[in-house]
Amino acid sequence: MNKGNSLLEVTIAVGILATALMGATSLFNTSAVNNEYTNQRVLAFKACEEVMEEMKVRPFATLLTTYNNTAFAFLDVKSLPNQNIGLIQITDVGAVAGNLYEITVSITHPGPKPPPFSAKLVSRRAK
């Protein structure tokens, strides 16, 4: 009577187990990267919202002369090599849409470390 497992059976079992563990490890790694990316985008949108709220209370003339095409620092992600990646743009869309102007607040990080992310908010306001 044959008791125990042969060397071939043990080798096959270890190979199957190693393959399953490598797949699970890859899944955890991908999940961690996606979680970091999502967290950075949420922080970028929050920063855009804060800047947008500041811009909404300012008069159109001040926005156009003082804040148009102005960069701002995005300090929420400490690992960024350049934190001045925010941009405020004011556009007079009166010719297209009547007595309106458009505020665009965007944050764009092209990557590679941390991974690329971006956020953009647009609001149209009456002059």
Strand 117-126 relative to strand 86-92: parallel, antiparallel, unpaired?
unpaired
Angle at 46 between CA 106 and CA 82, to 5 degrees: 55
**Which pLDDT band, with edges at 50, 70 and 90, does 1 fall under?**
low
**Which pLDDT band, with edges at 50, 70 and 90, does 84 fall under?**
confident
**Which pLDDT band, with edges at 50, 70 and 90, does 27 fall under?**
confident
Return d(Cα 97, Cα 121) in angstroms, integer: 18
- Pull the structure tokens for residue 1: 């009577």
Share of the chain above pLDDT 90, in %: 6
